[in-house]
Amino acid sequence: MAEVRPIWTPNQDRSVIDFPRPKTKRVELETMTAIISRIMRETGRDYIRGYAFAIFCLLLVAGTTAFTAWIMEDIINEAFASKDPNSLWLICGSILAAFVIRGFASYGQAVTLAQIGNNIVARYQQRMIDHLMALNVSWFSNNRSTHVASQISQNVSGIRDVMNMTITSFARDLITLVGLVVVMVAKDPLLSLVAVVMAPPLILSLRYISRRIRFVTREAVVINSRVLGAMQEAIQGITVVKAFTMEEQISRRSGQLIRIAEEKSNRIARLSERTSPLTETIAGFAISGVVAYASYRLIYSGELPGSFIAFITALLLAYDPARRLARLQVSLERAVVNARMIYEILDTEPKQADAPDAGELSVTAGRIEFENVSFAYDDGERVLNHVSFQAEPGRMTAFVGPSGAGKSTLINLLPRFYDVQEGRILIDDTDIMTVKKASLRDKLSYVSQQPYLFDGTIRDNIRYGRPDATDAEVEEAARRAQAHDFILAQPKGYDTPLGENGANLSGGQRQRVSIARALIRNAPILLLDEATSALDNESEAAVQKALETAMAGRTVLVIAHRLSTIYKADKIIVMQDGQIVESGTHQQLLGNEAGIYTRLQKLAGDQKMKMIGGRGAEPGVKKKKGTEG
């Protein structure tokens, strides 16, 4: 069959096919053994009773299967050849009992292993979310959320599959095969030797296939995660897709990923199913050879056929467990690849662990001080260069400057989303590196430019600021955030379910819900990444009023995109290229006609100047003679 090959455009990112190079055979085998051993250690001890019961049931299945083959000699010789009615009833009763026992044992092991497997998946899902919450922000910056989510959904079942396949293969298939081989040897040792002579070539062939499938499986998992990620991104950004008529581009790009995923899946199918012709062909040679030799002996020796029938029955019954065991390594390879990718995330160490002697942060005044702070992201380019300033308690400090000046980085350093590389950040003379992150962030409230609302009701989203808040406190926070009235106008009021990221609310409404979430936290320090820059004038007025309420009595750090929102700030810090170039009040900075702040004000235009000063003049600035208001 011809392989389907994707058509690549010259400008396309070929990273989708840049997969890791294969490891050596020895390292791979050790890694597979290590993964299985780790899964056994982490999950086996918690399910000893359940696995013991499942193994007992599987042993019953194996025993009754072997018994079915063993009793065939008595059926042929006693019931049919000798025609003994007493033996017939005993044989029939024994067969009925064996099948009933096997039926209930199969049911017991299947239900038990399913329950254990489902619990394993649930535990690892919880473990994954707990670990992801412990990772630092930089990890998420370097790993696309859609890819992480899709990889988790695909791979978490690998832990369960490794356990279940291992238990069933050894407790059922291996024991069944051993029992049937014992029956075969007991009935005819020479024929048994003829039957098993075909095993070595089968084992060697399957080991070769399993090595080939290991790498393809990992590639398939990676590319499938990118397919799901591309679909999720397209759905989340559907308004942008529609607005820029990107449908054809998205479809073409996703189609290329889908075709690659299809090719990988087809290759896995071709490799996996090669075991079928191998096992069937070798089994055919073994069974036909046994039948030919046994028939020759029966024809010329005149023996009763019971022993031969029992042997053939055992041989045929042994085929299924032998086939499953033959495919075990191939199946385990796929499950181990999935499990290994889960452990790659679980083994990622948080880079910002609390110091062993970290204490609790106590905020009395709320004074913030940056001392000679420098910072660079993972790419090595310095974003902040020896920045020092003080934010006085109970006052508003605003940061302005061109894009890329380092304003957002300053805000991100305070909650320790990232850690400084040089210098110190102090809150009330306490270095934030010496306190627990949870304690630090408990003293902070944060309102972003793009508010994020979670799945749940409006009440739930406000209560995220303080989980133990009462309904009355939630509603009071909404009133102070100018959100109470529009919330009551919703179909179910505070219990109205929100769409994805609050899609059923306007931008101003989402922002006021996020402000209510910050208010209910009642933290002494408030961080604002300009919360009104993307709003219309009416929404901006409502949000600005809510922010004024939120800022009262708190130490406030504001990133300003609209200069109209910070002219009342107690201190305005102007940044450029990661350094502070100007600082002062609105009036002081305007006094420097050659300064960056004055240039930014001029760029804002006459209309925004009127919004700031009212009737054309800036607040607190006297009109020049001969000018009109």
The model's pLDDT over 121-175, given as tens digits with 9 standing for 90+, comes to 888 888 888 888 888 887 877 777 766 776 677 677 788 888 888 888 777 788 8
Which of the two residues, 368 and 238, has the higher pLDDT score? 368
Statement to judge: residues 271 and 396 lie in one domain: no
What pLDDT, on a 0 to 100 scale, did the predictor assign at position 625?
A: 35
- Model confidence pLDDT, tens digit, residues 205-230: 666 676 677 667 767 777 777 777 77
Q: What is the mean pLDDT of residues 453-481?
A: 90
pLDDT value at residue 83: 62
Residue 12 belongs to a domain: no
- DSSP string computed for 380-444: --EEEEEEEEEE-TT-EEEEE-STTSSHHHHHHHTTTSS--SEEEEEETTEEGGGB-HHHHHHTE
Rounded Cα gap, residues 487 and 242, in angstroms: 29
Q: How much is the pLDDT for 15? A: 41
The percent helix, strand, coil of the chain (3-state, each to 5) is 65, 10, 25
> Do both 389 and 273 map to the same domain?
no
Q: Which strands sit side by side in the sheet containing 396-400, from one edge to the other?
A: 444-447, 525-529, 555-559, 396-400, 571-576, 579-584
Q: Which two tokens stand for residue 527?
A: 């961080």
User: By residue range, what is the domain housing residue 184?
Assistant: 22-346
The domain boundary residue, chosen from 331, 346, 361: 346
> Which residues 6+ apart lie within 8 Å of 559 measured at CB?
398, 399, 407, 408, 411, 449, 528, 529, 530
Residue 518 lies in a domain: no
Give residue 533's pLDDT band: very low, low, confident or very high (50, 70, 90): low
Does residue 562 have a pLDDT over 50? Answer: yes
Please report the pLDDT score of residue 247 as a whole number. 79
Q: What's the pLDDT score for residue 620?
A: 40
Read off the pLDDT of each residue in 163-188 and give the average, rounded to a whole number.
Answer: 81
Three-state SS at 148: helix
pLDDT at 595 over 70: yes
Same structural domain for residues 300 and 421?
Answer: no
pLDDT at 85: 66
The chain-wide mean pLDDT, for the chain, equals: 78
* CA distance to 11, 34, 80, 238, per residue, from 244 (Å): 20, 50, 82, 10
- Residue 307 and residue 184 share a domain: yes
pLDDT per residue as tens digits for the range 269-307: 777 677 667 767 776 777 677 777 767 776 766 666 677
Task: Identify the pLDDT of residue 368.
Answer: 94
Q: Looking at the structure, tell me whether residues 329 and 392 fall in a common domain.
A: no
Q: Which pLDDT does position 6 carry in this prediction?
A: 38
pLDDT at 423: 93
CB atoms within 10 A of CB 239: 9
Q: Amino acid identity of 204?
A: L
> Has residue 324 got a pLDDT over 70?
yes
Structure token digits, residue 112: 């038990």
Mean pLDDT (whole number) for 189-203: 69
Q: Is the pLDDT of residue 312 over 90?
A: no
The DSSP-derived string for 336-360 is: HHHHHHHHHHHTPPPTTPPPTT-B-
User: What is the reported pTM?
Assistant: 0.68
Amino acid at 402: P
| Best-predicted range by mean pLDDT (336-340, 554-558, 616-620) | 554-558
Residues 6+ positions from 257 with CB-CB distance below 8 Å? 16, 223, 226, 227, 230
What is the b/e burial string over 145-173, where b = at least 16 CB atoms within 10 angstroms of the residue's CB? ebbbebbbebbbbbbbbbbbbbbbbebbb
Domain count, the chain: 2
Residue 76 contacts residue 312 (beta carbons within 8 Å) = no
Residue 603 binned pLDDT confidence (cut-offs 50, 70, 90): confident
The whole-number average pLDDT for the span 3-7 is 37
The CATH code of the domain that includes 191 is 1.20.1560.10
Q: Specify if 501 maps to a domain.
A: no
Question: Two tokens at 528?
Answer: 């604002």
Question: Is residue 208 domain-shared with residue 331, that is, in the same domain?
Answer: yes
DSSP annotation of 536? -
Check residue 435 and give its pLDDT: 92
Rounded Cα–Cα distance for residues 351 and 347 (Å): 12
Is 460:541 a contact under the CB 8 Å cutoff?
no
- Structure confidence at residue 379 (pLDDT): 64
CA distance 462 to 505: 14
Residue 144 · residue 229 · CB < 8 Å: yes
More confident residue, 366 or 327: 366
560: its two tokens: 């300003």
Q: Residue 35 in contact with residue 162, Cβ under 8 Å?
A: yes
* Domain identity same for 155 and 236: yes
Q: What is the CATH number of the domain that holds 411?
A: 3.40.50.300
Q: DSSP string spanning 352-384?
A: TPPPTT-B----SS--EEEEEEEEE-TT--EEE
Instruction: Quote the CA–CA distance of 558 and 467 in Å, as a whole number.
Output: 26
Same domain, 272 and 320: yes
Q: In this structure, are 291 and 376 located in the same domain?
A: no
More confident residue, 204 or 321: 321
Give yes or no: residues 51 and 82 share one domain: yes
User: Of 315, 331, 346, which residue sits at a domain end?
Assistant: 346
C-alpha to C-alpha distance for 590 and 585, rounded to whole angstroms: 9
User: Tell me, what's the pLDDT at 3?
Assistant: 39
Residue 506 falls inside a structural domain: no
pLDDT in tens, 27-67: 444 477 788 888 888 887 788 888 889 889 888 988 888 88
Report the pLDDT value the prediction gives residue 384, as an integer from 0 to 100.
Answer: 92
pLDDT at position 233 is 72
Share of the chain above pLDDT 70, in %: 78
Q: Residue 294 falls within a domain, yes or no?
A: yes
Would you tell me the crossing angle of helices 507-521 and 537-551 to the nearest 10 degrees? 0
Q: Is the pLDDT of residue 103 over 80?
A: yes
Mean pLDDT, to the nearest integer, of 546-554? 77
Check pLDDT > 50 for residue 244: yes
pLDDT score for 373 = 93
Inside any domain, residue 196: yes
The string of pLDDT tens digits covering residues 359-387 is: 898 888 889 999 999 998 876 778 999 99
Does 375 lie in the same domain as 334?
no
Query: Does any domain span residue 449?
Result: no
What is the pLDDT at residue 609? 42
- What's residue 313's pLDDT? 79
Q: Compute the distance between CA of residue 556 and CA of residue 576 in angstroms, rounded to an integer.
A: 21
Boundary (domain end) residue, out of 288, 312, 346? 346
Q: Do 59 and 114 form a contact (C-beta atoms < 8 A)?
A: no
Is 149 part of any domain? yes
Instruction: For residues 327 and 375, state if they share a domain.
Output: no
